[in-house]
């Protein structure tokens, strides 16, 4: 009984802690552990009828505690067919598909009740398996109960948590053996102690340690550094630091966002610069969509400065309001600057409006632009004094040809290339998404942090027409330039991709720095697009980078709006994105475009597979069983005493038979073991029995030689035994814990 209580309580503790990770802040009170105690109590009752009564009573009490439903109101009927309990349980379960984790239990009482029920149910099931001494069933239930939450909510100390789960599984294996082996118990205790040590170690809490793909074994302590950026574009290559630095943490919804710091809206004929023009109040009303004035549509973010030495307030596109304990100046175009910069660990709040129109909605937007965008010095300038005619006006080819002369003559070929990609269309959206897809996939561009340049051509012209190799500033600058040549207001945005999401916050590092494109659409304002291949994914389904973007549906939608385009025209009728299997895909398309370094692709928060998680845990448990058995067997042979060697041989053979479910004991003689093998398996073990008997009971001068022969005969005998067994029996014996009970 004490063993049942101890093992069940240990498993229940781990299960409860893992399920309570779904709540933040954690619910106060001891209800989860009260439910665990209610689940364990019935299995201690005798006889069977009393245990069944205990199950019924504990289940009623658990429902009462979890959902605050009286046991007298648990019957079917009332406001739902399954009664109040079924209604709350069902709604709470469905809420997990509607709300992001972790949740506030005070705001989601039904989801809180489902979590409590899960703790009770898994604890009850594992307690029953432990009471019945069903070893594998108990381990399997525990792996599901403790591992399932990890597949729903990643993040935190995953390494320490995994070791704790593995350690408790080993403890169940050792504790449920017929006679717990001291070595097995010691191994389980060692794993648990190591897990606790790792869980409490400060290094484990560091994201760099948890991101095992980025482990760097040269871990000399480094001084705190601050990262600063020169936001103006540069195309002569980038260098990246060896160590990754967290620059921001942002508490925001889990949906992937790009964090904008500023915009590069001035193209000087060669590169993009941060020369922001400030709109008047009237222009601001023209450029801002009406829905952006609705506070209910704003997305709040709480930003903490970690190691960013900069004056820009960073927020999701497009910032509309802020709350910061520092003097702030509005630079224009949604760009905010803290006068004097921001300090380390300083926090501020910022609200953004991020519209997510569908491709069908944007396809219907006409090329209607306010004068605030088309006036000289605004969003259609290609160089100082050169403003490109807006998209869709009559005779614009002739007008553009007159402008692209002299030092701008190389851009005439870029204009011809942009028209060839976009085709003939009256839809600005069709042209925008065609160029985005062309840069990312169909145009044979390659990401490189040290791209070559074409002598005699401006950097972006050489990138588009010749090298087709560059990093995000090339891609964003090239796409924005081609859009302006087509007469579509566009600019380069600079900041960071989303980063890594853990426990309600995004961790943004210096390697997440990025540049993308913003394009203005009437009714929606500035929308982000990302032409850099393999980079982060935008959340709006209108962009070809979004996970929810449907290339086939978009192609069908836009095919009727485009004639002759390389992407939508006749060359790619089945979809926007065509992948060439021979094209080299960059191993990592991340970059730090402002001289900071190469960034990995931002990690999406994919939910890991439960089956894969359980498979890995089972592999770990199986490996631990094999290692414990092997270590115990090898330790017995660390002796020169032939008598002890003979005893070790006898115990090894007895354990092998015990794992194959053949009767044997530690006290069995060599001839008894030989007889069991001959009778049950049809294998002659007489040579081993004679050698082992001589080593154990013969004269000392004969025993040493006989001990060596006994070990050799034992190896031969075990090979014969393995050949006489089918594969499943051999595997079952290898992983069996029955022999651990022989001590």
Mean pLDDT by 10 residues, the chain (743 residues): 84 85 68 84 84 85 76 51 62 64 73 85 89 82 80 60 77 67 54 48 36 34 56 83 85 89 92 92 92 91 92 90 91 91 91 91 94 93 91 93 93 95 94 94 89 91 94 95 97 92 89 93 94 81 84 86 82 42 36 35 42 67 82 86 90 84 69 83 88 88 89 90 84 79 58
Q: Which two tokens stand for residue 685?
A: 């073990």
Q: Which two tokens stand for residue 729?
A: 């029996």
Give the separation between CA 338 and CA 60, rounded to whole angstroms.
Answer: 58
Cis preceding-peptide flag for 590 (omega within 30 of 0): no
Place of tokens 């090894």: 652
Residue 649, classed as helix, strand or coil, is helix
Query: Got the DSSP string for 174-190?
Result: HHTSSS--HHHHHHHHH
Please state whether 333 falls in left (phi above 0), alpha (psi between -120 and 50) or beta.
left
Q: Residue 742's pLDDT is what? A: 58
The answer to whether residues 372 and 277 touch, using CB atoms and an 8 Å cutoff, is no
Q: Residue 669's pLDDT is what? A: 78
Torsion angle, CA of 625/626/631/632, rounded to 10 degrees? 60
The answer to whether residues 489 and 373 touch, using CB atoms and an 8 Å cutoff, is yes
DSSP state for residue 556 in the 8-state scheme: H
Burial 399-416 (b: 16+ CB within 10 A, else e): ebeebbeeebebbbebbe
Give the separation between CA 162 and CA 195, rounded to whole angstroms.
Answer: 8
Q: Residue 613's pLDDT is what? A: 57
User: β-strands 246-251, 299-305: how paired?
Assistant: antiparallel
Give the separation between CA 505 and CA 487, rounded to whole angstroms.
Answer: 39
pTM for this predicted structure? 0.54
The answer to whether residues 536 and 498 touch, using CB atoms and an 8 Å cutoff, is yes
Give the separation between CA 342 and CA 307, rounded to whole angstroms.
Answer: 10
Q: Which two tokens stand for residue 44?
A: 């201690």
Give the separation between CA 656 and CA 645, rounded to whole angstroms.
Answer: 17
Give the separation between CA 673 and CA 685, rounded to whole angstroms.
Answer: 8
Q: How far is CA 353 from the centre of its chain?
A: 26
Give the separation between CA 558 and CA 568, rounded to whole angstroms.
Answer: 7
Q: Residue 181's pLDDT is what? A: 52
Q: Residue 412's pLDDT is what? A: 95
Say which residues have a Cβ less than 8 Å from residue 180's Cβ, sequence separation at least 6.
Answer: 174, 740, 741
Torsion angle, CA of 337/343/347/349, rounded to 10 degrees? 0
Query: Got the DSSP string for 268-322?
Result: -SSSEE--PPPPPHHHHHHHS-GGGG-GGG-EEEEEEESSB--SBPPEESSEEEE
Q: Residue 603's pLDDT is what? A: 38
Cis preceding-peptide flag for 693 (omega within 30 of 0): no
DSSP state for residue 77 in the 8-state scheme: B
The answer to whether residues 580 and 571 touch, using CB atoms and an 8 Å cutoff, is no
Q: Residue 166's pLDDT is what? A: 77
- H or E element that contains 5: helix 2-19
Q: Residue 469's pLDDT is what? A: 94
Give the separation between CA 511 and CA 529, rounded to whole angstroms.
Answer: 20
Q: Which two tokens stand for residue 590?
A: 């991340």
For residue 653, give Cα distances in angstroms to 661, 718, 742.
13, 8, 12
């Amino acid at each position: 009984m004490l063993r049942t209580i101890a093992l069940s309580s240990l498993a229940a503790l781990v299960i409860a802690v893992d399920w309570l990770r779904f709540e933040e802040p954690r619910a106060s009170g001891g209800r989860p552990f009260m439910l665990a105690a209610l689940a364990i109590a019935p299995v201690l009752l005798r006889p069977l009828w009393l245990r069944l009564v205990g199950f019924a009573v504990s289940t009623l009490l658990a429902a009462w505690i979890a959902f605050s439903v009286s046991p007298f109101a648990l019957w079917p009927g009332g406001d739902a067919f399954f009664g109040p309990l079924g209604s709350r349980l069902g709604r709470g379960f469905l809420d997990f598909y509607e709300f992001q984790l972790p949740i506030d239990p005070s705001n989601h009482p039904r989801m809180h009740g489902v979590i409590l029920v899960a703790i009770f149910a898994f604890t009850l099931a594992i307690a029953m398996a432990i009471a019945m001494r069903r070893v594998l069933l108990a381990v399997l239930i525990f792996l599901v109960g403790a591992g399932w939450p990890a597949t729903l909510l990643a993040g935190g100390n995953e390494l320490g948590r995994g070791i704790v789960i593995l350690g408790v599984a080993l403890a169940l294996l050792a504790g449920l053996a017929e006679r717990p082996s001291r070595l097995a118990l010691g191994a389980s205790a060692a794993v648990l102690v190591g897990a606790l040590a790792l869980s409490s170690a400060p290094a484990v809490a560091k994201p760099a340690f948890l991101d095992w793909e980025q482990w760097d074994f040269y871990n000399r302590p480094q001084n705190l550094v601050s990262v600063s950026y020169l936001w103006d574009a540069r195309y002569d290559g980038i260098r990246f630091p060896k160590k990754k630095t967290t620059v921001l943490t942002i508490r925001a919804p889990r949906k992937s966002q790009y964090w904008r710091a500023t915009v590069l809206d001035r193209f000087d004929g060669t590169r993009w610069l941060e020369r922001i023009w400030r709109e008047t109040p009237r222009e601001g009303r023209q450029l801002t969509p009406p829905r952006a004035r609705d506070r209910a549509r704003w997305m709040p973010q709480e930003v903490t400065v970690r190691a960013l030495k900069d004056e820009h307030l960073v927020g999701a596109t497009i910032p509309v309001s802020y709350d910061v304990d520092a003097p702030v100046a509005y630079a224009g175009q949604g760009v905010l600057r803290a006068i004097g910069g921001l300090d380390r660990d300083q926090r501020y709040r910022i609200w953004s409006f991020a519209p997510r129109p569908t491709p069908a909605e944007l396809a219907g937007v006409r090329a209607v632009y306010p004068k605030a965008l088309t006036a000289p010095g605004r969003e259609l300038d290609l160089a100082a004094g050169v403003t490109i005619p807006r998209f869709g006006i009559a005779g614009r080819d002739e007008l553009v040809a007159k402008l692209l002369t002299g030092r701008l003559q190389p851009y005439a070929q870029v204009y011809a290339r942009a028209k060839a990609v976009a085709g003939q269309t009256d839809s600005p959206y069709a042209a925008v998404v065609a160029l985005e897809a062309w840069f990312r996939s169909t145009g044979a561009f390659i990401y490189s942090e040290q791209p070559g340049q074409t002598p005699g051509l401006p950097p972006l012209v050489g990138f588009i027409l010749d090298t087709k190799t560059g990093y995000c500033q090339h891609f964003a600058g090239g796409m924005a330039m081609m859009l302006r040549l087509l007469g579509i207001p566009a600019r380069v945005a600079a900041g960071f991709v989303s980063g890594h999401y853990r426990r309600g916050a995004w961790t943004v590092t210096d390697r997440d720095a990025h540049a993308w494109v913003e394009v203005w659409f009437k009714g929606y304002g500035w929308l982000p697009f990302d032409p850099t291949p393999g980079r982060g994914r935008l959340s709006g389904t209108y962009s070809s980078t979004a996970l929810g973007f449907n290339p086939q549906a978009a192609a069908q939608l836009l095919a009727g709006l485009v004639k002759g385009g390389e992407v939508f025209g006749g060359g790619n009728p089945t979809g926007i994105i065509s992948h060439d299997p021979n094209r080299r895909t960059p191993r990592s398309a991340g970059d730090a475009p402002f001289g900071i370094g190469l960034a990995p692709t931002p990690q999406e928060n994919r939910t890991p597979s439960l089956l894969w998680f359980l498979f890995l845990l089972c592999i770990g448990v199986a490996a631990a069983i094999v290692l414990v058995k092997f270590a115990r067997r090898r330790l017995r042979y660390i002796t020169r005493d032939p008598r002890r060697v003979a005893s070790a041989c006898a115990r090894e053979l007895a354990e092998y038979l015990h794992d194959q479910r053949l009767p044997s004991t530690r006290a069995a003689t060599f001839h008894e073991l030989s007889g069991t093998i001959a009778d049950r398996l049809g294998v002659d073990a007489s040579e081993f029995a004679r050698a082992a008997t001589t080593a154990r009971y013969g004269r000392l001068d004969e025993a040493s030689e006989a001990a060596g022969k006994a070990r050799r005969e034992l190896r031969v005998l075990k090979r014969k035994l393995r050949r006489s067994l089918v594969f499943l029996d051999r595997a079952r014996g290898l992983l069996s814990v029955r022999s651990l009970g022989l001590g």
